[in-house]
Amino acid sequence: MNIITKLLTAIRGSAREIGEAVVDTQSMRIFEQEIHDSKENLAEAKSGLTEIVAKKMAAERKLNGLKAEITENEGYAVKALEQEDEALALQVAEKISKLDAKAENLASDLNSYEKNVDILKSQIQEAEKIIAEHERELAMVKTRESVQQATKSVTQTISTNESAIGSARDSLERIKEKQQNEQDQLDAGIQLRKDMDGDDLDKKLKSSGIKTEKHTAESVLARLKKK
Amino acid sequence: MSLLPNLSKRLSEYQYKEHRFSCLPMPGEQDVLRVEVSSLEEMPIFVTVTETQILCISYLFSKEEIHSDKTAELNQYMLELNVPMPLTAFAIIDDYYSVFGALSRGSTLDSICDELVTLARNSSDSLQALEEFIK
């Protein structure tokens, strides 16, 4: 069962202490220990790998040296034969056969080192995968636990201090009221701007003589004369 | 976990995109910081710091406050809204519908402020958007 399924099962079972329902504290500690041990084994495997790789490299170097020596001696043998020195050629050939045997042994060692390296590498990869997976599970359970504690603290805070949250309806009304206020202020601002713009236009019209002042001394006098 | 008092102090002195933060530490089993984002005070945010994350929660309404015959529809809406809503997700905590955001403990102050402002805004918007479900 994967960890999400476990969590879901725990939630379905309406278990409040979900962290505990999934993995109790004791088994969590064991789990942590397992991860720790796996990591140690992994470190060992890695140092083992380094050792084998080093051995493999040494064997390769040796083998190359042997091969060069064989080629060199083969040259000598051919030259001895050219000089028709059969005895010398035979001596060299004996040396070559010994070198050949050595090379064969070394090649088989090298082959087993290479196989070991492959096996170790895939083991390390597998172990790393398992450790990563375990750590993810552990992190999830731990997070679940700490979140539970955190939310518990928050809800406790709220229930001991009812004004901390209030009802949704109240909050909604306050939000609406505030938005209405903001809208009103915006409208008032627009109105004010309009009025001021109107004043400006009035002034412009008057200064250009298009609109005349109603209550000037001249207009009053003219009105009186009409009577 | 001295992160929370430190956060409280820094937030109180900080201004982020014309928002200020009023912080009220609430000591308890695990410390909780109640944060009001200016101009979004109706939806306070409760911040806690755990081993792995900074958790910010804002409560929408309790299960009792919604029309019980509409619960399935409400849940469906919330699931559908979850992905398009930036930095915020819906959740049920005990008996409360809530929105929350989680941040890495290594988040910068600006990232935390961004989360707080966005969460408060989303919380307020969600409450208004889901009004029909509230009794």
**Residue A19 CB burial class (10 angstroms; 0-12, 13-18, ≥19):** buried
Q: Strand locations in chain B, DSSP E?
A: 15-16, 19-26, 32-37, 45-49, 53-62, 89-93, 96-104
Instruction: Based on the fold, state whether residues A117 and A32 are members of the same structural domain.
Output: yes
Res. A10: pLDDT tops 80: no
Instruction: Based on the fold, state whether residues A121 and A67 are members of the same structural domain.
Output: yes
Q: Of B29, B21, B27, B38, nearest to B5 (Cα)?
A: B27
**pLDDT given for residue A16 in this prediction:** 47
Distance from CA of B8 to the nearest CA of A (A): 16
**pLDDT, tens digit (0-9, with 9 covering 90-100), for B55-77:** 999 999 989 999 989 999 999 98
Domain residues for the domain of A85 are 3-166
A221 touches B: beta carbon within 8 Å: no
With bands split at pLDDT 50, 70 and 90, how would you rate the model's confidence at A12? Answer: low
Distance from CA of A195 to the nearest CA of B (A): 29
A191 touches B: beta carbon within 8 Å: no
Distance from CA of A125 to the nearest CA of B (A): 26
Domain containing residue A72: CATH number = 1.10.287
> What's at A201, amino acid-wise?
L
Angle subtended at Cα B57 by Cα B52 and Cα B61, rounded to the nearest 5 degrees: 150
- Asked whether the beta carbons of B39 and A179 are under 8 A apart, the reply is no
**pLDDT, tens digit (0-9, with 9 covering 90-100), for A174-211:** 888 888 888 888 888 777 777 777 777 777 777 777 77
Helices then strands, counting H and E runs in chain B, come out as 3, 7
Residues 6 or more apart whose CB falls under 8 angstroms from that of A45 comprise A120, A123, A124, A127
Instruction: Based on the fold, state whether residues A88 and A153 are members of the same structural domain.
Output: yes
Among partner residues A158, A165, A175, which is closest to B128 by beta-carbon distance?
A175
The total number of structural domains in chain A stands at: 2
Instruction: Based on the fold, state whether residues A182 and A129 are members of the same structural domain.
Output: no
**pLDDT given for residue A213 in this prediction:** 66
Residues of A within 8 A of B52 (CB-CB) are: 139, 142-143, 146
* Between residues A76 and A36, the one the model is more confident about: A76
Q: Look at residues A121, A145, A166 and tell me which one is the last residue of a structural domain.
A: A166
Instruction: Based on the fold, state whether residues A101 and A184 are members of the same structural domain.
Output: no
Domains of chain B: 3-133 (3.30.1460.10)
Instruction: Based on the fold, state whether residues A73 and A141 are members of the same structural domain.
Output: yes
Beta bridge partners, B62, equal B96
Taking the model in full, what pTM does it have?
Answer: 0.60
Res. A15: pLDDT tops 80: no
Instruction: Based on the fold, state whether residues A153 and A179 are members of the same structural domain.
Output: no
Stretches where chain B sits below pLDDT 70 are 1, 29
Residues of A within 8 A of B44 (CB-CB) are: 164-165
